[in-house]
Amino acid sequence: MKPFLRASFATAKLCLKEKSYFGFINQLAGYLLQAAALGALLMIWRSLFMQGADTGGMTLEQLYAYTILSTALAPMLNVRTPVSGWLHDGTLLGLYQRPAGIFAQLAAHTVGSWGMRLMCLSVPLVVIASALGVDLRPASAWFWLSLPLAVLQGFAVDYLFACLLIRLRNLEWCVHCLREALNALFTGSLIPFAALPWGLGRILQLTPLGTLAGAPLAICTGLEQPGLLIAAQIVWNIVLWPLALRCFDASTERMVSYGG
């Protein structure tokens, strides 16, 4: 294995193990809460359909699949690297002392931290949902391209937020609020864009945040045609990555001189 891959694998493995040290039982409460939230949301969709609302061709099964996948794939559709947290206490400094790229290390940390949740929540969710008859198989093979594109774009967005955070370093909470707000409405992770009024969804699904969760989920559940969404994802990756790299580079001095 190449040293770069070996180093990244070692970091990811350590992050995965770190989560496992907390003990499954101790994390169970958190997973149960998330599962409960999912269950309640599914029931709300069900009640919406039962009242006979015009859903514009969207089936209940599609909505179920959309919501379940949104929870199961949440860490990938809303990428959160540890960089924002590390700015505060100077941990970020440590990354600069290792013989590896900053982004590669952050990616390894992030992917490693997904492991436990995927194993303890996502896999059981998918298995249970499939057993209950919800078809979670992708409606289009393009989903397998859309998902990695969303993850890649998610990293760029996270780095941009980190740069914003370091600019407004005394207003960490505000950046957090802003991000949560944008995430709640504009990424399509909670409510499918197809369910929004006034054609709002048509616009939002092509925005840089809308393509994060909205695109892979809509492609997977067959709510939208993949062509336009994947094209938008590619465009946003091309635009956001150079921007993120430039901003990160420009913010490095502030990042390493803050905290610690």
Partner 1 sequence: MAAKTRSVFRLWRLYALMDLRWMLQDTASMLIVLLSETVQNLSAMAGVLLLAVRFGGVGGMTADEVLFMLGFYELASGLCMMLFGGFNIAHISRRIGRGQVDHMLIQPRPLWVQLLTEGFMPFSGSCGFLIGLVLTAAAIRRLHIALTPVWFALLGFYLLIHIALTLGQSFLYGASAFWQPVACEEISSMILDLNSQLGRFPLFGLPGWLSGLLHTVLPVGLLAYLPALSLLRQLGKPVELGLPLGVAAVFVTAAVVCFQKGLKHYEQCSCNRYKDMGHRC
Partner 2 sequence: MSNAAATATRTWDTAAELCHVTKYFDQKRPVSLFKREVQRIHALDDVSFTLQKGEFAAYAGPNGAGKSTTFKLLSGMLRPQAGEVRLFGMDPARSRIEVMRRTGVLFGNRSELWWDHPVRASFDWKKEVWDIPDDVYQRAVGELRDLLDLDDIWHTFARELSLGQRMRANLALTLLHEPELVLLDEPTLGLDVLAKRQMIDFLKRINREKQVTLLVTSHDMDDLTEMADRLLLINKGRLAFDGSYDQLVRTTGDSRIIRLLMRGDAPAIEGASFIGTQDGRHVYRYDAAALTPQQLFAAIARIHGVEDVELGREAIEQVIARLYEEWRR
- Site residues, partner 1 (CB under 8 A): 22-23, 26-27, 29-30, 33-34, 36-37, 39-41, 43-44, 46-48, 50-51, 53-55, 85, 88-89, 168, 170-171, 173-175, 177-178, 180-182, 184-186, 190-191, 195-198, 200
Torsion sign across C-alpha atoms 193, 199, 205, 207? negative
Q: Which of 2, 57, 170, 199 binds partner 2 (CB under 8 A)?
A: 170
Using CB distances below 5 to 8 A depending on partner kind, what does residue 20 bind out of partner 1, partner 2, none? partner 2
Q: How far is the CB of 14 from partner 2 (least distance, A)?
A: 13
Element (H, E) at 186: helix 172-186
88: number of Cβ within 10 Å: 14
With CB under 8 A as the rule, give the number of residues binding partner 2: 5
Nearest CA to 105 out of 215, 7, 210 is that of: 7
Place of tokens 């609302």: 53
Binding flag, residue 26, partner 2 (CB under 8 A):
no
Annotate 126-142 with b (16+ C-beta within 10 A) or e (fewer). beebeeeebebebbbeb
Binding flag, residue 27, partner 2 (CB under 8 A):
no
- How far, CA to CA in Å, does 257 sit from each of 89, 136, 174? 11, 47, 21
Stretch that binds partner 2, among 16-24, 134-142, 227-235, 248-256 (CB under 8 A): 16-24
Q: Name the site residues for partner 2 (rule: CB under 8 A).
A: 20-21, 23-24, 170
